[in-house]
Structure 1
Amino acid sequence: MLITEYFKKFLHSSQSSGILLILCVLLSLFIANSSLGVSFQNVLDTHIGTEIFHLNYPLSIWINDGLMAIFFLLVGLEIKREIVEGELSSFKSASLPIIAAIGGMVVPALIYYFFNHGTEYANGWAIPMATDIAFSLAIISMLGKRAPLSLKIFLAALAIVDDLGAIMVIAIFYTDQLHWEYLGLSAAVVVLLILLNFFKFKKHIYYIIPGLFLWYFMHHSGIHATIAGVLLAFTIPTNTSTTEISPLEKLEQKLHLPVNFLIMPIFALANTNITFKDGMVDGLFSNFGYGIIFGLIFGKIIGINLFSWIFIKLKISSLPDKSSWSQMLGAGLLAGIGFTMSIFIGLLSFKGHPEIQDEAKFAILVASAISGFAGFSLLKYIGKKKEILQ
């Protein structure tokens, strides 16, 4: 299958920023557990904005809902590009990430439910469903040529679908109230963006300005605002020409550096801010800890590969180009990096119970670290083995 040059550039940038991302994770953990921890948390809790338009939020919200919407915009642009002319341009290849993502949500939730049904922790069933797209893509990109580009595209598409699924779960099960008037306004903006595309408006400004309104309305609707980035991306015009650069490609080129070397490191610094407390380790060896850890590590790899195997055997889907089942196992492990979205669901699940929230954060951190290290090691080993055979 054709892999677009733009996706190669995106992955190259992600590979270069992967080490920086990991350093930011370690730095954030160090700061959180040092004398600077309280001051750093106070910075993240500092409100920025104005009350006039109801846009006065803590810095952490601006990072997770604002900056990450830009990250989702970039990944959405790349996914659309691959759907139009690349690895996801056929039904068989495009359907696999969707099927795999569904399996990767259902099985982890069932594992968690098995350990925690009927307990005070039952409400956290959705915690292991999520895949952290920023960290999973950064780690697989660090493998360079030892992981097929098609596998990286598969993981990116899977993570997008997974996060959209997690957002829908939050909206349905964990949102106190949906504001339908804002959802209606969001839908109207999406229709406008589609019309702009239909009538071949090509300047970015015609899409960026409505996109800002889309983010605002989505944020106030009660649904996680990062979905606005994906919706906006899928309305940006593109083409199949190899000589004419489309508006989508131009925007993608402009977003590479700020996303990979500014937005993602800031995201890592803000979201790995976990303070270790007494009793956290004990919490890992409880049904609550088992549900999260087994759900993310084993639930993801089983769900993704089982659902993929079934649909490939039925000839509905096909494996990513030049990929093997052993590499699919590695991708399944990387999908077990739940992190930010999992932590977010954990916070929503146990409002008013900070001690349970801390236990959930620690279990998610441990599971994500194990999944990331295991997935990276497995894919690196397979890549080395293939190099030797060649």
Structure 2
Amino acid sequence: MNRPGPAETAFDAGSTRETLRVAELLRKETVGGFLLVGAAVVALVVANSPLKDAYARLRDTVVGYAPWHLNLSLGQWAADGLLAVFFFLVGLELKRELVDGELRSPRTALVPVVAAFGGVAVPALIYLAVNAGGPGVHGWAIPTATDIAFAVAVLAVVGSRLPASLRLFLLTLAVVDDLIAILIIAVVYTDRLSWAPLALGLVPIAAFGLLAHRFADWFAVHGWAAWAVLLPLGIIAWGFLHASGIHATIAGVLLGFAVPVHRGRTPVVGDDGLAGQFEHRFRPLSAGFAVPVFAFFAAGVDIGAGGTFTDALTDPVGIGIMAGLLLGKPIGITATTWLTLTLSRSRLGPGVRWPDVIGVSVLAGIGFTVSLLVAELTFADDPARGDHAKIAVLTASTTAAVLAAALLYVRGRVSGRR
């Protein structure tokens, strides 16, 4: 029997440039993951303390200009406004992966892309099976997301001895997962669509992209230029998309895609391109402020009110979410990875074993940020069931983090002894 060649090997470490880029990104996401978890813990503590009424009043305080449909609560501003920054970074990372990363090559993209789809489809099917015919059936998208920041934070703590290719696999899978989540939010959670604001919103997006491409060198050299020129265009685009009925975070994704990956005509040795420059500048704003503030307002559930925690764990919505994240994610990712490798007659890369893949697939069961957002969108008119969904997301994400940490820690110790 002939041994598979390099072209038939999955989970390769990738080029040195790509490995260094991923390592830097993972370090940044690790810090953001710890801040995210910290904000969620603070929210839960405050929401279950004597300060819970003050917390609720703060979250529900409405500010903004009503004629422009911008009279939103602070919680809504965090979900619709601040998360647009997070999704802008997602758009940048997606484009960089498509142009310079693992997704540019069908051979390297095949396994993580198929695994991502498996990790979305199986949790959704499990949720639908549990909630078939029930009032919460439309929440099927809640357990389909993976929180890259939270997952990477866990991986950084327990997975230092694991192969670098596994980290690359997790990152690529999560990027594709985010793309699917974005499409779901754009299509499923658009109840009404106003064409005039949508058309007007495309104008500043086009201007944003035109300026970013035409003056890529200038924006890369002058740090203030993006804040003074591009940011106002981004805010205008966000406002029009919000008025159109499409979830306003989609504006962030479109703007991220509008940024060129490479600089202009001037080659600069060691330069990471304009998308890399913007990612470096704006990621601290996303990881250090936008996402933690969203988590603070979204995760504050009074789990002791009238048996809320028990009700959440027995509600078909909660059961479907937890089963989707804790069972659907690992089953979907592992099964589709195995099937893809089998059909393509490939094998795992050097140092990678199936327990490693299973550990990473369990880690992908950490839903958190996008799952909480989808829960808010799904049950905006049913706060009680929305609280059940959030409790299920928090419980399943925490459980997935603990289980994955244990699996990856044991695997790391075993790999270290070899």
Sort the TM-score into its range (normalised by shorter chain).
0.7 to 0.9
Partner of 2:354: 325
SS at match of 2:63: strand
Counterpart CA distance in 1 for 2:94 and 2:181 is 18
Measured in 1, the distance between the counterparts of 2:211 and 2:247 equals 25
Is 1:269 aligned to 2:296, yes or no? yes
Kept after mapping to 2: 8 A contact 1:88/1:94: yes
Tell me the secondary structure at the aligned position of residue 120 of structure 1. coil
Partner of 2:8: none
Mind listing any 5+ residue stretches in structure 2 that lack a counterpart? 1-13, 220-225
- State the shift of 1:29 in Å: 0.9
What corresponds to 1:210 in structure 2?
Answer: 233
Distance change (3 Å), C-alpha of 1:198 and 1:251: closer
Compute the displacement of 1:178 (Å).
Answer: 2.0
Does the 8 A contact of 1:91 with 1:317 survive in 2?
A: no
2:321 matched to which residue of 1? 292
Distance between the aligned counterparts of 1:174 and 1:71, measured in 2? 18
2:282 paired residue among 240, 255, 276: 255
The match for 1:238 is: 261
Cα RMSD of the aligned pairs, angstroms, is 3.1
| Equivalent residues of 2:33, 2:149 under 8 A apart | no
- Aligned partners of 1:238 and 1:247 also within 8 Å: yes
One-letter code aligned to 1:44 = R
Are residue 228 (structure 1) and residue 243 (structure 2) matched? no
SS in 1 for 2:64: strand
Asked if 2 retains the 8 angstrom alpha-carbon contact of 1:131 and 1:337, the reply is: yes
Q: Give the C-alpha shift of residue 292 in structure 1.
A: 1.7
Deviation (angstroms), 1:325: 3.1
Shift of 1:189: 4.5
Indicate the residue corresponding to 1:337 in structure 2.
366
- 1:323–1:46: structure 2 CA closer, same or farther, 3 Å change rule? farther
* Residue 56 (structure 1) aligns with: 71
Check 1:11–1:340 CA distance in 2 against 1; reply closer, same or farther (3 A cut): closer
Contact 1:93 1:318 in 2 (8 A): no
One-letter amino acid matched to 2:285: P
Work out the CA distance in 2 between the residues paired with 1:147 and 1:242. Answer: 32
Q: Structure 1: where are the runs of 5+ without partners?
A: none
The answer to whether the 8 A contact 2:197-2:241 is kept is: yes
Q: What is the DSSP-based 3-state SS (H/G/I as helix, E as strand, rest coil) of the residue aligned with 1:182?
A: helix
**Deviations, residues 163-184 of structure 1 (Å, cap 9, x unaligned):** 3433433444443212233333
Aligned to 1:354: 383
Query: 2:374 and 2:284 mapped to 1: Cα distance?
Result: 30
Q: Offset of 1:36 from its aligned partner?
A: 0.8
Q: 1:270 to 1:113 in 2, by over 3 A?
A: same
Q: Secondary structure at the match of 1:210?
A: helix
Deviations 1:318-342 (A, max 9, x none): 8688644322222222222223433
Letter in 2 for 1:49: G
Displacement of 1:294? 0.8
For the 8 Å contact 1:171–1:178, the answer to whether it is kept is no
Q: Which residue of 2 aligns with 1:162?
A: 177
How far the C-alpha of 1:27 sits from its partner, in A, is: 1.6
Residue of structure 2 equivalent to 1:67: 82
Q: Tell me what 1:369 maps to.
A: 398
Is 1:306 aligned to residue 335 of structure 2?
Answer: yes
1:301: how far off? 1.2
Whether the 8 Å contact between 1:237 and 1:248 is mirrored in structure 2 is yes
Structure 2 counterpart of 1:346, one-letter code: A
1:224–1:232 distance in 2 versus 1, CA, 3 Å: same
Q: Is 1:101 equivalent to 2:128 in the alignment?
A: no
Counterpart position of 1:123:
138
**Larger deviation, residues 79-88 vs 53-62:** 79-88
> Which residue identity is paired with 1:60?
G
Distance 1:335 1:91, change over 3 A: same
Distance 1:316 1:208 in 2: 48
List per-residue Cα deviations over 1:263-302 (Å, max 9, x = no partner).
3332332222111123331441354432221111111111
Structure 1 residue 28: Cα displacement: 1.4
More off after superposition, 159-168 vs 371-380:
159-168
One-letter amino acid matched to 1:305: T
Contact 2:147 2:367 in 1 (8 A): yes
Q: Distance in 2 between matches of 1:72 and 1:383?
A: 32
2:71 partner SS? strand
| Gap change, CA 1:20 and 1:166, over 3 Å in 2 | closer
Of stretches 216-225 and 368-377 in structure 1, the one that deviates more from structure 2 is 216-225
Which residue identity lines up with residue 288 of structure 2 in the other structure?
Answer: F
Equivalent runs, 1:70-89 vs 2, <5 Å: 70-89=85-104
CA distance in structure 1 between the aligned counterparts of 2:346 and 2:238, rounded to whole angstroms: 34
Matched, 1:384 2:384: no
Q: Deviations over 1:352-388 (max 9, x none)?
A: 4333222222222211111122123222322232222
CA contact (8 A) 1:113 1:122 kept: yes
Shift of residue 119, structure 1, vs aligned partner: 2.5
Contact in 1 for aligned 2:151/2:401 (Cα 8 Å): yes
2:59 paired with 1:44: yes
Please tell me the residue identity of whatever aligns with 1:292: I
Contact 2:190 2:247 in 1 (8 A): no
Give the total of aligned pairs: 389
Indicate the SS of the match to 1:146. Answer: coil
Change (3 A) 1:301 1:21: same
**Structure 2 CA distance for partners of 1:267 and 1:319, relative to 1, 3 Å:** farther
Give the drift of 1:193: 4.5
Q: 1:331 to 1:217 in 2, by over 3 A?
A: farther
CA contact (8 A) 1:296 1:368 kept: yes
